[in-house]
Structure 1
Amino acid sequence: MLEFSAEHQLIQSEVQKLCDNYEDDYWQAKDREAEYPMEFVQELAEHGWLGTIIPEEYGGGGYDTLEAAIVLEEIAASGAGFSGSMACHGAMFVPRSILNYGTEEMKSTYLPKLASGEKLLQCFALTEPDAGYDSTSISTRAERDGDHYVVNGQKTWCSRFYASDYMVLVARTTPREEVSKKTDGMTLFLVDIDDALEQEAVEARKIEKSIRRAVPSYEVWFEDLEVPAENVIGEVGDGFSQVMDGLNEERVVIAAEAVGLARVAIDRAVQYAKEREVFDRQIGANQAIQHPLADAHARMTSARNLTYQAARAFKEGRDVGEAANIAVYMAREAASKAADQAVQTHGGYGVATEYDVERYYREARLSHIAPISDEMIKNYIGEHVLGLPRSY
């Protein structure tokens, strides 16, 4: 079984205490009203958790992906589900762009503000309507003009746009038809969202959706947005490799969130199975209820072990491609099985919002397509792990 150090157990305990302040009716209301849980995120910031991966020299926690995974798992498992964990999930990997590739001036300027929660960097703009998962096909352009770049184009599924002060934007600085490799010619930019709005060079439209409603996503249009040249992150034209470097980390933390979702779904089902009596006995005494829940627990435990194996590999600087992709794939499966059985255990009440399990069911389904689909995960495993020919 998975064992955590005393320090990691303390992190779990502290996050659990904070989450106890936000009961089920809070998360139900946020989901129902499609309202971002800003109060929760601000309290996380006040306690330093949004600065988890930021080094101590910049005022952060000095932790890494492993600790970020612990924080997000506990948030999801508290009952918040993805409504809570995804609300702050960007803070656990988006700043990595600055950490890994930003200049020292950029780090000293922005990281202390992010660590304290004074400013939020939670928005990552990569996906485009006509590109989808094919990130090399993005067409948003950034053209150099003196001491700044001018950005034009469109992004979609930009989560937490209005809940962020900054955005990491991926744009082409060289058109795809002018590069020898389709992965060349992309660059990362740090965009000040308030400045972009003041320029009247950005427009955002909320995407109406039925899943993870508390964490809004947006379509965003850029028209002659001016971004200072010093806001380039890393090397001009090398943005694709920088993006890929961070995606494995995102997959590790998403796997942890899915594990947390599986945990809370199982917990709620078990609680109901102990309390609900039909035919003069607890329904949990029936193998038709008990065995699927035992199966869901076994799947969750297995996925949890894989997730933290990947997180430790990342922390130790080892190649995590295989581990991260398998972890997120299995954690999604575990979350879906657990949420489905939680709904089944509740019977008719499984679709009643007051019991929350229908929300966990919806959120578990979302995990199979965002931020990367199951099919793309299997493509990676087929090509890079099994050595099969590229399939797409």
Structure 2
Amino acid sequence: MTFAVPFLALLLIGAFCAYHRLRLPVWAGLTAVALAACWLLGANPTATAVAAILVAVVAVPLMIGPVRRALVTRPLLGFYTKILPPLSETERVALEAGTVGFEGELFSGKPDWNRLLSQPKPTLTAEEQAFLDGPVEEVCRMTNDWEITHVDADLPPHIWEYVKKHKFFGMIIPKEYGGLGFSALANHKVIQKLASVSSVLSSTVGVPNSLGPGELLMHYGTQEQKDYYLPRLADGREVPCFGLTGPWAGSDATSIPDYGIVCEGEWNGQRVLGVKLTFDKRYITLAPVATLIGLAFRMYDPDGLLGDKRDIGITLALVPRDTPGVEIGRRHFPLNSPFQNGPIHGREVFIPLSQLIGGPAYAGKGWQMLVECLSIGRSITLPSTASGGGKMGALVTGAYARIRKQFGLSVGRFEGVEEALARIGGYAYATSALAEAAAAAVTRGELPAVPSTIAKYHCTEMGREIAKDAMDIHGGKGIILGPRNYLGRSWQAAPIMITVEGANIMTRSLMIFGQGAILCHPWVLKEMKAATLPDPRERLREFDKNLFGHIGFAISNAVRSWWYGLTGSKLGAAPGDAYTRRFYRKLDRYSAALALCADTSMLLLGGKLKFKESLSGRLGDVLSHLYMASAILKRYEDQGRPEADRPLLAWTMFHSFHKIEEAFSAALRNFPVRPAGWLMWLLVFPWGRRAEAPSDRLGHKVASLLMSPNEARDRLGEGVFLTPCANNPAGRINGYLQKVILAEPVERKFQKAIKSRDIGALDFNAQLDEAVREGWITADERRQLEELRAMTLDTISVDDFDSEELRSAGYVLQRLDERRAQAA
């Protein structure tokens, strides 16, 4: 037995040092002390000597820099350069364009929670809040979504005029250029509220404040361009659009075939040097009404008018609508959500070099400009739209499920409906936190490349699930379109959000982990840069430093993953209170496991990893849920740890843990190198998968929160348009909830008398007369039941139309013309 003691001590000291990430000299010193103690306490001398020799053989060469670099690092550098995945120029630009925030901690295997929790609570300025309470509230009151989507297929003129007058299109433009100068957080709050009443309105306002001429000019425009265009964009004199996607280049924006040839041409009566453009764009939001087109194209200089470079690269330009050769104005019709969207065409459209965004100095830098600005826009518009729709869906569906009765019972009391309500509540809570976290990152000055893709993908996916469950609960109320319907258009619009800026399939399988594994990893990007340094000595020295940092990091994560799995994440320091500490520990475990699996995947698959999209998607799911859970915990802390919110918090946490383990399981069971998959399974799941989906009991609590007035429900609904008015049937139904609950005891008493045949009348009004006459209810209670009847009828009623009303005006006019022609 004493023979094994030195080796056991070696193993324990190594595991302890790896878990706590102690440096190599510390490990060597502690190991030496432990072996000396074994010797003095009578352990087997031979075993102790063998253990000491093993330590010396490993530690001495590794602690002597020149020896380590000669014997270990140099051969590994040669191997690394062979397996290093080749990066194209566009991939390199994409990796270097973004910044790394807390998502980098999630790749570390040991997140520094203080870094997250010390971030300031996202708050609006008094001016921003006044804008939400004033112009935003007012334009929501003015909005009739049925008329927009069915009658006009557009915002009515008075709303177009209102949003321009109040500078909705200039929220992100600085005040010195006539804009509102709002923060990204305020932009998020505005889009969220507009989306809760009309997706057409939110997209119309969102696009000018997202990727487009305004954003690009602020970052890269010449002073002359800023002085002229930004004031005009801020007050709506110019309506912008941005032409990127075309028939032959959708998600692969770097392959756009649209081109511009450097040449001389006429501009404002003068002969100037410029670019002759040929382009074919589609899916361009605001294009039919735009007066200023931002355009991405590949620029060529075959005659060398600008220099020796013939293929200058992707370039961005400003093209006025009335430029000769531009074809614009026709519309696409996206799934009965008729926001202005359409194609743009142009053939040999001449513009001067002064119309290039940033001027000639930025020719060929368009991809870098796009990548940097895409992460900002992607962080705001789509997540905020999903959050607004999801919050409104949660509140109105909860109210509907309480008001709507079947078999004498609110439909929300049926367990099947409770399951759907729990998902709606949990997803709305998660979407709200995730969208706000992404906006807060931009407000802090970050370029959140990875968080923006996480927020875009998961907010829009959860928004689609909320719409689906809400439609199931509403039944016929949801599918019959008309002025009373507040769900149908959201259901139709859900697939639109998941296709914008690249389909969600691509976002999940290529972008989240593919970009995060390199950009967020503490060592990989440093190693890649070190391996390509031109100076051989500096290359070896930098690679050595990063390589051994990476090796220690990998060993630590293997130990931490196994230990957390072995102990069920019940041990270890963690922030939070007694209720939330367990959640932080779980995230620590999954962070270590993600780092372990990411390192193993990159080591064994190398450049092939980018083609393993299923594996990349599953590891991306792990990263996404880690980030989402962190955002939820941060908001819970910012709100003062409200006890009433615990069911929502717990549901989202357990849901994320279940999804994380499900993703790990699928990734490891299908790992291309099977022995490595088996080994990782033992380290990640030493006792097997343990995380379960949220329980029915927890789901019941979440559903109950949605179906009754309470502070948690109010917090969930903050920031959406709930004002009861003629144009807001969802707000009316939500406003009925408290009165309906107060009337329920009277209703039960009344229904009991009917069922017991103590009231014999058949007509409702006659039943009320008899109930008052026989003393079953008072006159005040009768008025309460009459009001309940009216509120219930408004809640469950759907619209009907004369057949001719459902024909489009264009169709009717066309048919009339045909009939007149036939008669003639």
State the TM-score, normalized to the length of structure 1.
0.89
TM-aligned CA deviation for residue 259 of structure 1: 0.8
Do 2:172 and 2:182's aligned partners in 1 also have CA atoms closer than 8 Å? yes
The counterpart of 1:61, out of the listed 175, 180, 192, is: 180
C-alpha distance in structure 2 between counterparts of 1:312 and 1:359, whole Å: 29
Residue equivalent to 1:151? 277
Residue equivalent to 1:257? 385
Matched, 1:202 2:202: no
Query: Structure 1 or 2: larger strand share?
Result: 1
Residues 1-392 of structure 1: pairs in structure 2 closer than 5 A? 4-5=123-124, 7=126, 8-23=128-143, 26-33=144-151, 35-37=153-155, 38-77=157-196, 79-80=197-198, 82-93=199-210, 94=212, 95-121=214-240, 123-146=241-264, 147=272, 148-174=274-300, 185-193=313-321, 195-196=322-323, 199-213=324-338, 215-234=339-358, 235-253=362-380, 254-354=382-482, 355-378=485-508, 379-387=510-518, 389-391=609-611
- Quick one: structure 1 residues 5 and 154, their matched pair in 2 at CA, closer, same or farther if it must change by over 3 Å? closer
TM-aligned CA deviation for residue 302 of structure 1: 1.5
TM-aligned CA deviation for residue 72 of structure 1: 0.5
TM-aligned CA deviation for residue 284 of structure 1: 2.5
Taking only aligned residues, the RMSD between alpha carbons, in angstroms, comes to: 2.4
Do 1:11 and 1:70's aligned partners in 2 also have CA atoms closer than 8 Å? no
Cα shift readout 1:292-350 (whole Å, capped 9, x = no counterpart): 22321221221221222221211222241121111112211221121111111111222
Tell which structure's C-alpha radius of gyration is larger. Answer: 2
Do 2:289 and 2:340's aligned partners in 1 also have CA atoms closer than 8 Å? no
Letter in 1 for 2:215: R
- Quick one: structure 1 residues 51 and 172, their matched pair in 2 at CA, closer, same or farther if it must change by over 3 Å? same
Do 2:372 and 2:447's aligned partners in 1 also have CA atoms closer than 8 Å? no
Do 1:76 and 1:264's aligned partners in 2 also have CA atoms closer than 8 Å? no
Do 1:41 and 1:87's aligned partners in 2 also have CA atoms closer than 8 Å? no
C-alpha distance in structure 2 between counterparts of 1:294 and 1:6, whole Å: 34
Do 1:15 and 1:75's aligned partners in 2 also have CA atoms closer than 8 Å? no
TM-aligned CA deviation for residue 381 of structure 1: 1.4
Do 1:129 and 1:155's aligned partners in 2 also have CA atoms closer than 8 Å? yes
State the TM-score, normalized to the length of structure 2.
0.44
C-alpha distance in structure 2 between counterparts of 1:142 and 1:189, whole Å: 10
Cα shift readout 1:92-144 (whole Å, capped 9, x = no counterpart): 122101110100110010111111222222x1100110112111111111112
TM-aligned CA deviation for residue 3 of structure 1: 6.3
- Quick one: structure 1 residues 347 and 45, their matched pair in 2 at CA, closer, same or farther if it must change by over 3 Å? same
Cα shift readout 1:250-308 (whole Å, capped 9, x = no counterpart): 21121111111112222332232232222122222333223422321221221221222
TM-aligned CA deviation for residue 6 of structure 1: 5.8
SS at match of 1:302: helix
C-alpha distance in structure 2 between counterparts of 1:288 and 1:276, whole Å: 15
Overall identity of the aligned pairs, in %: 22
Cα shift readout 1:166-222 (whole Å, capped 9, x = no counterpart): 1100011039xxxxxxx96011111111x22xx244255422442422x13222210
Structure 2, unpaired ranges of 5+: 1-120, 265-271, 302-310, 519-601, 603-608, 614-824
Q: Compare relative contact order (CA 8 Å, sep 6+) and give the higher one, 1 or 2.
A: 1
SS at match of 2:475: helix
TM-aligned CA deviation for residue 9 of structure 1: 4.0
Letter in 2 for 1:369: T
Structure 1, unpaired ranges of 5+: 176-182
C-alpha distance in structure 2 between counterparts of 1:16 and 1:315, whole Å: 20
Cα shift readout 1:362-385 (whole Å, capped 9, x = no counterpart): 111221111221122221112122
Letter in 1 for 2:352: P
C-alpha distance in structure 1 between counterparts of 2:136 and 2:218, whole Å: 28
- Quick one: structure 1 residues 3 and 151, their matched pair in 2 at CA, closer, same or farther if it must change by over 3 Å? closer
- Aligned pairs, how many? 378
Do 1:351 and 1:358's aligned partners in 2 also have CA atoms closer than 8 Å? yes
TM-aligned CA deviation for residue 162 of structure 1: 2.3
C-alpha distance in structure 2 between counterparts of 1:29 and 1:285, whole Å: 35
Do 2:200 and 2:337's aligned partners in 1 also have CA atoms closer than 8 Å? yes
Do 2:298 and 2:314's aligned partners in 1 also have CA atoms closer than 8 Å? yes
- Quick one: structure 1 residues 3 and 278, their matched pair in 2 at CA, closer, same or farther if it must change by over 3 Å? farther
C-alpha distance in structure 1 between counterparts of 2:183 and 2:296, whole Å: 24
Cα shift readout 1:8-31 (whole Å, capped 9, x = no counterpart): 5434323542233234xx211221
C-alpha distance in structure 2 between counterparts of 1:365 and 1:318, whole Å: 29
SS at match of 2:141: coil
C-alpha distance in structure 1 between counterparts of 2:435 and 2:172, whole Å: 17
Do 1:174 and 1:186's aligned partners in 2 also have CA atoms closer than 8 Å? no
Query: Structure 1 or 2: larger helix share?
Result: 2
Do 1:152 and 1:222's aligned partners in 2 also have CA atoms closer than 8 Å? yes
C-alpha distance in structure 2 between counterparts of 1:14 and 1:371, whole Å: 31
C-alpha distance in structure 2 between counterparts of 1:20 and 1:88, whole Å: 12
C-alpha distance in structure 2 between counterparts of 1:309 and 1:46, whole Å: 30
C-alpha distance in structure 2 between counterparts of 1:384 and 1:329, whole Å: 14
Comparing 268-277 and 89-98, the one that deviates more: 268-277
C-alpha distance in structure 1 between counterparts of 2:223 and 2:152, whole Å: 38
C-alpha distance in structure 2 between counterparts of 1:107 and 1:6, whole Å: 26
Do 1:41 and 1:88's aligned partners in 2 also have CA atoms closer than 8 Å? no
Do 1:46 and 1:116's aligned partners in 2 also have CA atoms closer than 8 Å? yes
- Quick one: structure 1 residues 120 and 204, their matched pair in 2 at CA, closer, same or farther if it must change by over 3 Å? closer
C-alpha distance in structure 2 between counterparts of 1:295 and 1:241, whole Å: 39
